[in-house]
Homo-oligomer: A and B are copies of this chain.
Amino acid sequence: MENIDDEYRNYWETNTFLQTEELDCYFDESMSVSYEYESSSPEGMQSSSSPPSKNIVSERNRRKKLNEKLYALRSVVPNITKMDKASTIRDAIEYIKSLHSEEKKIKAEISELERGIMTSSPNSANSEVITSCCKRKRTKMVRCHDPIEVIELRVSNMGEKTIVVSLECNNKRDTIIKLCKAFESLNLKIITSSINAFSGRLFKTVFLQDDEDDENDLRVKIEDAIAALNNPDSPMSY
């Protein structure tokens, strides 16, 4: 008959005790012990009077843990607008989203940097301005996407493991640099090389020693390297 009475009395006891005295931290150890006994009391008891004590303390711990987690979340998220629980989570979400977009930007930027080269011509067609990154002083950078337009590529074996590469292409902005990067990426044993610019064209001649590849293999390698540089999506993972 006193079931509900007892329950709610118990509710009230602990509740007001905790809320008014704010003894939360002391409760965990010292009090929980005193709560312990009586839980193994005879079965005939009003089932509600004793068992909750176990649950109460564990529930308390659960809430405590969860709040600590929330505090930790606050600590790793900058720009927390309010100390609100919901606001904390909302800010965390927005922060993660902003980090995601940053990540995207940076990825693009890195692949740009990996593949390509900066130039100082803001008016160059087929280029874009990207402001980067991560809240440091934003440096304006202009990237040029003009591909290497190969007009002629000759790879000829001169005997004695010596191969001569002769390449002619249009001389757009940064073409020289890309060309150099393409050849650098192949790790060739270069004996001597020259690049000449004339009449809107680039002429590159390379003498190199190659013990492994024949003409065709090397030709394919060079073509692949150039293609990789021309492909904007390539991470240029060399």
CA distance A19 to B23 in the complex (A): 15
Contact partner of A1 among B38, B106, B118, CB < 8 A?
Answer: B38
Query: Contact between A96 and B93 (Cβ–Cβ < 8 Å)?
Result: no
* Shortest CB distance A59–B (Å): 13
CA distance A20 to B186 in the complex (A): 74
* Shortest CB distance A2–B (Å): 9
Residue of B nearest to A237 (CB): B139
CA distance A93 to B12 in the complex (A): 36
* Shortest CB distance A49–B (Å): 7
- Chain B residues with CB under 8 A of A103: 99, 102, 134
Query: Contact between B1 and A41 (Cβ–Cβ < 8 Å)?
Result: yes
A126 interface hit (Cβ, 8 Å): no
Query: Contact between A69 and B89 (Cβ–Cβ < 8 Å)?
Result: yes
How many copies of this chain? 2
Query: Contact between B93 and A73 (Cβ–Cβ < 8 Å)?
Result: yes
- Chain B residues with CB under 8 A of A97: 76
A190 interface hit (Cβ, 8 Å): yes
A87-124 Cβ-contact flags toward B at 8 Å (1 or 0): 00110110111011011001101100110011111000
A132 interface hit (Cβ, 8 Å): yes
Residue of B nearest to A132 (CB): B110
A220 interface hit (Cβ, 8 Å): no
Hey, which bits of chain A sit against chain B, CB under 8 A? 1, 4-6, 8-17, 19-20, 31, 34-35, 37-38, 41, 49, 62, 65-66, 69-70, 72-73, 76-77, 85-86, 89-90, 92-93, 95-97, 99-100, 102-103, 106-107, 109-110, 113-114, 117-121, 132-134, 136-137, 139-141, 173-174, 176-177, 180-181, 184-187, 190, 192-198, 235-238
